[in-house]
Chains A and B, each alone.
Chain A
Amino acid sequence: MSEQPTEKKAAPAGEKAPPGGLRRVLDEILQGSWLVTALAVVLALFFGAIMIIVSDEEVRGTFSYFFAAPGDALSASWTAVSEAYGALFRGAVWNPESSWNVATAIAPFSETLTEATPLLLGGLAIGLAFRSGLFNIGGQGQLIMGAICATLVGFTVQGPVVVAAVLAVLAGIAGGALYGALVGLLKARTGAHEVIVTIMLNYVAVSFLVWLITTDAVKNHERNEPLSKSVSEAAELPRLLSWLPEGGGSLRLHAGLLIAAAAVFFCWWLLNRSTLGFELRAVGANPTAARTAGMSVGRSQIMAMLISGGLMGIVGATQVLGTANANNALTPSIDAGLGFTAITVALLGRASPVGTVFAAILFGALQAGGRAMQASSGVSIEIVTVIQALIVLFVAAPPLVRGLFRLKGAGGSKAALASKGWNG
Chain B
Amino acid sequence: MSKGIRLAAGMAGLALLVAACGEKPKEETSGTTANSDYKACMVTDTGGIDDRSFNAASWAGIQAGIKQVGGEEKFIASSSENDYVPNITGLVKENCTLVVTVGGLMGEATTEAAGQNPNQQFAIVDSPTVEGQKIYGMQFNTAESSFLAGYLAAGMSKTGKVATFGGMAIPPVTIFMDGFWEGVQHYNKTKGKDVQVLGWDETKPKSGSMADHFNNQAKGKSITQNFIQQGADIIFPVAGGTGLGAAAAAKETNGKASVIWVDTDGCEFASQYCDVFLTSVLKDVKGAVENAVVNGSKGELTGGYLGDLENDGTGLAPFHQFDSKVPAELKTELEKIKTDIVDGKIEITSPSQPKG
The residues of A with any CB-CB pair to B shorter than 8 Å are 61, 63-69, 72, 91, 111, 115, 207, 210-211, 214, 223-227, 249-250, 252, 319, 323-328, 331, 333-334, 336-337, 368, 371-372, 374-376, 378, 380-382, 385
Contact = CB atoms under 8 A, between A and B. Distances in A.
B78 to A, nearest CB: 8
B171 A214 contact: no
A214 B107 CA distance: 19
Nearest to A328: B108
Interface string B160-186: 000000001111100000000000000
B80 A333 contact: yes
Given A214-B168, A385-B79, A65 B25 contact: yes
B77 A331 contact: no
B335 interface: no
Interface string B1-42: 000000000000000000111111100000000000000000
Contacts of B87: 371, 374-375
Nearest to B117: A250
Contacts of A371: 76, 83, 86-87, 90
A374 B76 contact: yes
Given A210-B212, A326-B112, A327-B108, A224 B81 contact: no
Given A68-B23, A326-B108, A336-B80, A225 B170 contact: yes
Contacts of B232: none
Contact of B22 (A65, A326, A380): A65
Contacts of B25: 61, 65
A323 B21 contact: no
A325 B21 contact: no
Given A224-B352, A225-B105, A334-B81, A375 B76 contact: yes
Interface of B: 19-25, 46, 74, 76-77, 79-87, 89-91, 93-94, 103-105, 107-109, 111-112, 116, 126-127, 168-172, 212, 352
A328 B112 CA distance: 12
A337 B94 CA distance: 27
B74 to A, nearest CB: 7
A319 B107 CA distance: 17
A380 B77 contact: yes
A249 B103 CA distance: 25
A55 to B, nearest CB: 13
Max chain A CB contacts within 10 Å: which of B20, B21, B81? Answer: B81
B105 A252 contact: no
B143 to A, nearest CB: 13
Given A72-B24, A211-B212, A214-B170, 16 more contacts: A63-B20, A66-B20, A207-B212, A210-B168, A223-B107, A224-B352, A324-B81, A324-B85, A331-B81, A333-B81, A371-B83, A371-B87, A374-B87, A375-B93, A381-B83, A382-B79
Nearest to A380: B77
Nearest to B111: A326
A375 B76 CA distance: 6
Contact of B85 (A72, A211, A326): A326
A225 B105 CA distance: 6
A250 B116 CA distance: 7
Contacts of B91: 375
A67 B25 CA distance: 13
B79 A368 contact: no
